[in-house]
Amino acid sequence: MKILLLGSGELGKEFTIAAQRIGQIVIAVDSYKNAPAMQVAHDFEVINMLDGEALDMIVAKHQPDFIVPEIEAIRTERFYDYEKQGITVVPSAKAANYTMNRKAIRDLASKELGLKTANYCYATTATELYEGVKAVGMPCIVKPLMSSSGKGQSTIKTVADIEKAWKYAVDGSRGDIIEVIVEAFVKFHSEITLLTVVQNNNPTLFCAPIGHRQERGDYIESWQPARISDKDLYEAQDMAEKVTEALGGAGLFGVEFFLADDGVYFSELSPRPHDTGMVTLAGTQNFNEFELHLRAILSLPISEITLEKAGASAVILASENSFHPSYLGVEKIAALSKTDFRIFGKPTARPFRRMGVALTHDSLDTAIETVVERAIKAAHLVTVKS
């Protein structure tokens, strides 16, 4: 099969490697040359994926069997036409369009499916943002409708924060939609990602829940399994199955939840492998999240997902701008037991850009805090230099 991968970052790179291992053809697409997935794909294209005509041209050129989006900044409304042409959009054109825009997915979850979410509203101007903050109360979270990796996300604690939050959200927005979502702050005690695998002709499966910690709206560490009560896990699985069924298609979805004293809150959903799911590269499961996504897309039956180990991931961040980054300390992390790492191969670096990840694992009876601490220490051994 021929797969057109739209977005070629670190998640796309691991997906491409999984596809190569079982003989699939991948064309990696992004807005810049030498993106991570391009380094391992059969072919690549460099275009602005918000340019619908450019997107149409590469689809016509390559005639893929599958279109697999990896990022948000894509002219996703074109996907409906591609489906009419007989191309499979992963997971579906509807799923890609709804989840690339926080407004669509939040309204689907809250208004149509009745899932429990934080109180929220929208704003298209700074003035509307003031009104929205007044409506949901402070503290609250502001996010662009289209963004990823925490870009443009901030917390409003005082009235003085509102103007700054509006500008930051607009600057961090992907695409051409100038609108934000304002969310009431949920008093949660933890966050989880529930990797949900929707199959074409077999039951939906769930990975063991993944816990994670964020800074600046982006994940810093993740671990599997996360602690969660049976009641909360059942509720999260029920929500995940409802929303993925409504979106349609097959593939792996990363469904995020807040766990609070008063229950489980639906937060967000990605129709593709999730950054926090990189912990599965530590061998925590019989299949990592990229293999699961690929097998579901190709309708290869997945009989079960088994938890094999406790694992953790911690990101390796850049601290400065660089056009040719190098990595110091790799030999130190390589010398550690029950530890691995990935360097993503991004051609440029900037402060707080995710450049790699440290991975640790241990037996399932090991305290997860111990595994996470080892991952953090390992990540700190590597320095990204210009």
The per-residue pLDDT for range 264-313, each reduced to its tens digit, is 999 999 999 999 999 999 999 999 999 999 999 999 999 999 999 999 99
In the chain, CATH 3.30.1490.20 covers: 119-184
The distance between the two most distant Cα atoms of the chain, rounded to a whole number of Å, is 56
| Helical H segments across the chain, by residue range | 10-21, 52-62, 79-84, 93-99, 102-107, 126-136, 161-172, 230-247, 289-297, 330-334, 368-379
Q: What is the pLDDT of residues 56-83, one digit of tens each?
A: 999 999 999 999 999 888 999 999 999 9
Determine the pLDDT at residue 218: 87
- The yes-or-no verdict on residue 176 having pLDDT over 90 is no
- The yes-or-no verdict on residue 21 having pLDDT over 80 is yes
Q: What is the pLDDT of residues 302-347, one digit of tens each?
A: 999 999 999 999 999 999 999 999 999 999 999 999 999 999 999 9
The three-state secondary structure class of 329 is coil
In the chain, CATH 3.30.470.20 covers: 188-385
Q: Which residues are catalytic?
A: 148, 150, 256, 268, 275-276, 354
Determine the pLDDT at residue 149: 64
Nearest to 133 by CA among 162, 111, 112, 160: 162
Which CATH architecture is the domain 119-184 placed in?
A: 2-Layer Sandwich (3.30)
Euclidean distance between CA atoms 75 and 51, whole angstroms? 7
Q: How confident is the model at residue 164 (pLDDT cuts 50, 70, 90)?
A: very high
Determine the pLDDT at residue 62: 98
Task: Read off the pTM.
Answer: 0.93
Chain mean pLDDT for the chain: 95
Share above pLDDT 90 across residues of the chain, in percent, rounded to a whole number: 91
Q: What is the pLDDT of residues 222-234, one digit of tens each?
A: 999 999 999 999 9
Euclidean distance between CA atoms 76 and 93, whole angstroms? 7
Of 3.90.1010.10, 3.40.50.720, 3.40.50.20, 1.10.150.120, the CATH number of 2-89 is 3.40.50.20
Q: How confident is the model at residue 99 (pLDDT cuts 50, 70, 90)?
A: confident
- The yes-or-no verdict on residue 123 having pLDDT over 90 is yes
Interior/surface letters 312-349, b for 16+ CB within 10 angstroms, e for the rest: bbbbbbbeeebeebeeebbeebeeeebbbbbbbbbeeb
Q: How confident is the model at residue 205 (pLDDT cuts 50, 70, 90)?
A: very high
- The yes-or-no verdict on residue 243 having pLDDT over 90 is yes
Q: How confident is the model at residue 216 (pLDDT cuts 50, 70, 90)?
A: confident
The more confident residue out of 282 and 201 is 282
Instruction: Identify the CATH homologous superfamily for domain 188-385.
Output: ATP-grasp fold, B domain (3.30.470.20)
